[in-house]
Structure 1
């Protein structure tokens, strides 16, 4: 049985502009290159899977219902001719320093843990060696490394700040992209090279 390939995507600072503890739909601002990038991944045969830490839930800043509204809006705005470009959204509401008891735990779902990726792999039969993670933080690159994914750091969000941190910890990204659209162009080049080698 053929396994699926995926692009795992951080949310804040990667797909949408970074907002501290985004809790309102009206504050959701999609990155200008997000839709064409996701369309490109789909055209190349990848699943688009969002994995995001949302500790604002454990800290009491917003609820899971609030988050669902934001994710519904995110999916709605990232459509292409009526087709959703995001296949799955997984989130971790946990943080050990939270104030909402049921979310105040150390969870493997919280990046750099790989719990969210494991859930996606089990549901979607994903080949991690043929997949990527795109994010804007050291935590994202650590998560990618822990899962055996190819790492793409974007300069948006916290990317410029965290690039040197990645180098200091010997976690150099496979590619340091200007933004998610630049990341998609890099993956496209890899795919073209791969296909040319098979000719």
Structure 2
């Protein structure tokens, strides 16, 4: 993560599974990763418009023992390489491996602050980057994603499928 520009900019907060990639459940390997139509292009468009772009994703599969945090980081690195092919980038990835019923007790928490609908991941990004909250938006495919945005003081949009770039077109005007 490079040092952020000190002037506040709007941020696009994106859930991962179901918004950026198809979600058959617990995606952690690149060979199982399929971009949602328009996702890479949407990120590149927001980059070009001067927005921060953050991924905020619940990853309970780590806590459940299905895969490791290293697997999550590796997938995010591969996403970044794929985004670079179209001139896009994610400024930072945030993920929450915790879950109330995690198999591994180090990931077990009754109400993890980072797990959406709690706003912990968004608040961490806001603390680490100069975000203009009034112009920022959280995009998720679940009500909990939208709720996390609301709790962080950010407008939320529920993505119900289709082309992500087309869905977000009006946000850049």
TM-score of the aligned structures, taking structure 2 as reference length: 0.90
Per-residue CA deviations over 1:105-134 (Å, capped at 9, x if unaligned) read 132110011111111111112122220011
* Whole-angstrom distance in 2 between the partners of 1:88 and 1:13: 19
Give 1:179 deviation, angstroms.
3.6
Gaps of 5+ in 2: 1-5
Alignment pair present for 1:94 and 2:98: yes
Match of 1:85 in 2: 89
Question: Is the 1:38–1:85 Cα contact (8 Å) retained in structure 2?
Answer: yes
Question: Is the 1:9–1:135 Cα contact (8 Å) retained in structure 2?
Answer: yes
Greater RCO (CA < 8 Å, at least 6 residues apart): 2
Partner secondary structure for residue 66 of structure 1? helix
| CA RMSD after TM alignment | 1.5
- Find the partner of 2:108 among 95, 104, 110: 104
Question: Is the 1:93–1:103 Cα contact (8 Å) retained in structure 2?
Answer: yes
Match of 1:115 in 2: 120
Match of 2:151 in 1: 146
* Whole-angstrom distance in 2 between the partners of 1:13 and 1:148: 23
Structure 1 moving runs of 4+ over 6 Å = none
- Find the partner of 1:184 among 150, 168, 171: 168
Question: Is the 1:52–1:90 Cα contact (8 Å) retained in structure 2?
Answer: yes
Partner secondary structure for residue 78 of structure 1? helix
Per-residue CA deviations over 1:51-103 (Å, capped at 9, x if unaligned) read 0000000000100111111111111111156x551111000000011111100
* Whole-angstrom distance in 2 between the partners of 1:2 and 1:72: 27
* Whole-angstrom distance in 2 between the partners of 1:110 and 1:36: 27
Gaps of 5+ in 1: 157-177, 192-199
Partner secondary structure for residue 52 of structure 1? strand
Question: Is the 2:57–2:95 Cα contact (8 Å) retained in structure 1?
Answer: yes
**Which has the larger Rg?**
1
Match of 1:39 in 2: 44
Give 1:5 deviation, angstroms.
1.4
